[in-house]
Amino acid sequence: MAARVLLRAAAGLLGQRRRLLVLPLGAPGPGVRRGLAGAAWAGVQQLPAPARRRRPPWVRGYSDAPTLTLKSIHDQVLYVLKLYDKIDPEKLTVEAHFMKDLGLDSLDQVEIIMAMEDEFGFEIPDAAAEKLMSPQDIMDYIADVQDVYE
C-alpha cells in the first residue's frame, strides 16, 4: 500500500501519468519485483494510463442520512430502548425516569447513551449525558443538537 502511494506521488511530481494494474499474486508479467519487499510488489505492473474519464477535482460524491424529524427521533429512541434487555417494554414511556421508574443504575444509563450515540452517529459529551434521565430528555437533546424543529 505504501509502495503504491509513493509511486503515485513520484509519478505526479514528474508529471507522468501512470496507472497501476494489480494482478493476482504470483501472476507473471513485466515489472514483477522480487526481494525483501517481494510480497508488496508481486503482481504490480505499470502501464501507461489509457484515455479515461476522470471527474473534475471540484466534483465530489456526497451521501446524506435521511432527514430527521421529531417523529423519527421519537421512534428511534423508543426502538433502541425497547431492545435494551434490562428495560421492560411494557413499563417504558416517554416520561419514564431511567433510575426511579425503570430500575436502572448509572452503568445502564451509560450503556443507553452509548447505544444512542451509535444509533444517531454523534458523540454525546459526558456533561450532557449525565442530565439525560428519561427518553424525553434524550429526544429533546438529539433534536436540539441535530437542529430538528417542527
Global pTM reads 0.58
Task: State how many domains the chain has.
Answer: 1
Residue 106 forms part of a structural domain: yes
Predicted confidence (pLDDT) at residue 131 exceeds the cutoff of 60: yes
Residue 40 forms part of a structural domain: no
Residue 60 forms part of a structural domain: no
Cα gap 109→134, rounded to integer Å: 10
Residue 128 forms part of a structural domain: yes
Predicted confidence (pLDDT) at residue 109 exceeds the cutoff of 80: yes
Residue 98 forms part of a structural domain: yes
Residue 26 forms part of a structural domain: no
Predicted confidence (pLDDT) at residue 99 exceeds the cutoff of 50: yes
Residue 111 forms part of a structural domain: yes
Non-local (6+) Cβ contacts of 74 within 8 A are 94, 139
Q: Beta-carbon neighbour count of residue 139 at 10 Å?
A: 21
CATH of the domain at 124: 1.10.1200.10
Q: Beta-carbon neighbour count of residue 132 at 10 Å?
A: 20
More confident residue, 118 or 34: 118
Residue 107 forms part of a structural domain: yes
pLDDT tens per residue across span 17-75? 545 455 555 555 555 444 445 555 555 555 555 555 566 666 666 666 678 899 999 99
**Structural domain containing residue 109:** 86-146
* Positions marked catalytic: 105
